[in-house]
Amino acid sequence: MAEKYILAIDQGTTGTKVLLMDTELNLVAEKSTPFEQYFPQPGWVEHDLNQIWATVEAGIASVVAKVDPNAIVAIGITNQRETICFWDPKTTKPMARAIVWQDRRTADRCETLKKSGLEPKVQQKTGLLLDPYFSSSKIEWALKQNPALQNAAIGTIESFLLARLTAGLVHATEASNASRTMLLNIQTLQWDEELLSTFGVKESSLPKLKPSFGEFGKTKGVQGLPDGIPITGILGDQQAALLGQACVEAGEAKCTYGTGAFLLMNTGAALKTSAHRLLTTVAWTAKDGKPTYALEGSAFMAGATIQWLRDGLGMISDAREVEGLAESVPTTDGVMFVPAFTGLGAPHWNPYARASITGLTRGSTKSHIARAALEGIALQNVDILQAMEKDLGSKLKMLKVDGGACKNNLLMQMQSDFLGCTVRRPVFTEATSLGAVFAAGMGAGIWASFEDIKRVWKLDREFKPLVSDSARQAKLAEWDKGVRQLIY
């Protein structure tokens, strides 16, 4: 029987990965290509959509050269989420730079809307909190600054890629991405008229909503690809990682350790509005349109904390050195590191907090600081997961982990110790890309059910708690005190 392949496009914040897997989940080829970040003013972050498309084309050309392109049966897309794009609906040419999810230019506008009392309604309709992280205030800003954009097609990254892959024939999205715009009512799964009016956005500019799994369109005019390959699955990056980790049942959770740490817990068909300042988001919608929901919390600095030890302090020359350095001492010897370099994310949501290293003595060394940095990354996640447990009213039994920093065994052991639960790391740690493969396969009928996905998920290593309950509680109390000093 001839091999069949799934092409996955994983479009991230600093680069694009394109990979090819066969239907037995063997990795056939992959290509990662970085692109430029633009910082026109302090707090502003932009991307050039032509550069992003060039990285997609480069990736496609590289991986497709390894196989017969006619054997590619489905394409999946996963992407950085809240970044907003504007392009000509006829030609697909960008009409402005994309405004990236990290961009803070609309912080004052969000504060004004909060003071007007809008946030409870926004949370009830969208599951989100008023913050420039999300797309709606960025769209409003761009439309006011550049009236020509009133005629643009507007969408998040996957919608732009879909337009390019189909020669402009398709302007569509799905709920995992749409739920991050702050314009989607996550109960009705429709664009919300009241929020569109608040932010001055025409529904006709926005993409059509489709199920996450199913055909969005077919390739046309893409260099290196035959016309007619169906695009059959799309998910935002964190929801893709949830699927890639086979967290397909309510109560299952994953943490992706990238630049930040992103935690999602599947809540099934139940839409849980958080009482602890977490986000409610759509995990995915099935072919029949039925949604699966998730609770989400993020810590802004995970891998980026290790990068700071390397680039900011010069303590290490390679990020992989941090584990050995931290392991060279049995404890932090009282040193505490709260990595709030860009504020505190969930459940604190304090943009004004800043990082701190406390408890230093003359006996403190870079080994103690390295160990405290890893503890800080793990402890931030405990805050988020404990908030999830409170919202759900049940204890977490197990956490699946992925992303670059999950290869750090000491960090994973700390995560298990501080959470008091089992941590599981898969063989294939690029769960976001794998989620795009799964989404495309579900949409194309290659996998008939979530049970099929659970069967093909492979465990690499399991970490179980090694510390006593009293030692854990003492560490958490110490951490809580350190965080409170930053906030209050």
Residues 361, 152: Cα–Cα separation, whole Å: 58
pLDDT in the model for residue 220: 96
- pLDDT at res. 487: 65
pLDDT at 313: 85
pLDDT for the residue 368? 94
Q: How far apart are CA 449 and CA 454, in angstroms?
A: 9
Ordered per-residue pLDDT tens for the chain, 488 residues: 468 999 999 999 888 999 999 988 889 999 999 898 888 988 888 999 999 999 999 999 999 999 999 999 999 999 999 999 999 999 999 999 999 988 888 988 999 999 999 999 999 999 998 988 899 999 999 999 999 999 999 999 999 999 999 999 999 999 999 999 999 999 999 999 999 999 999 999 999 999 999 999 999 999 889 999 999 999 999 999 999 999 999 889 999 998 888 999 999 998 888 888 899 999 999 988 899 999 999 887 788 888 888 888 888 888 888 898 899 999 998 899 988 877 777 787 777 778 889 888 999 999 999 999 999 999 999 999 989 888 888 788 889 999 888 999 999 999 999 999 999 999 888 899 999 999 999 999 999 889 888 888 889 999 999 999 999 999 999 898 888 877 65
Residue 445 lies in a domain: no
Within a domain: 478: no
Q: Across the strands, what pairs with 11? A: 16, 79
Q: What is the span of the domain harbouring residue 184?
A: 5-238
**pLDDT at position 159:** 97
pLDDT score recorded for residue 276: 84
| Residue 228, domain member (yes or no) | yes
Give Cα separations from 326 to 309, 375, 405, 469 (angstroms): 12, 10, 14, 23
Burial 17-32 (b: 16+ CB within 10 A, else e): bbbbbebebeeebbbb
* 110 found inside a domain: yes
pTM of the model: 0.89
Give pLDDT, residue 2: 67
Q: Are strands 291-299 and 261-268 parallel, antiparallel or unpaired?
A: antiparallel
Q: Is residue 371 part of a domain?
A: no
pLDDT of residue 226: 93
| Locus of tokens 């699966």 | 292
pLDDT for position 50 = 97
Tally the residues of the chain: 488
Here the tokens at position 187 are 């109960």
- pLDDT for 316 equals 85
Beta strands 27-34 and 72-79 are unpaired
In a domain, 354, yes or no: no
Residue 304 falls inside a structural domain:
no
Q: Is residue 376 part of a domain?
A: no
Q: How many domains are there within the chain?
A: 1
Whether the CB-CB separation of 172 and 156 falls below 8 Å is answered with no
pLDDT value at residue 19: 95
CATH number of the domain enclosing 223: 3.30.420.40
- Per-residue pLDDT, 488: 57
| pLDDT confidence of residue 391 | 86
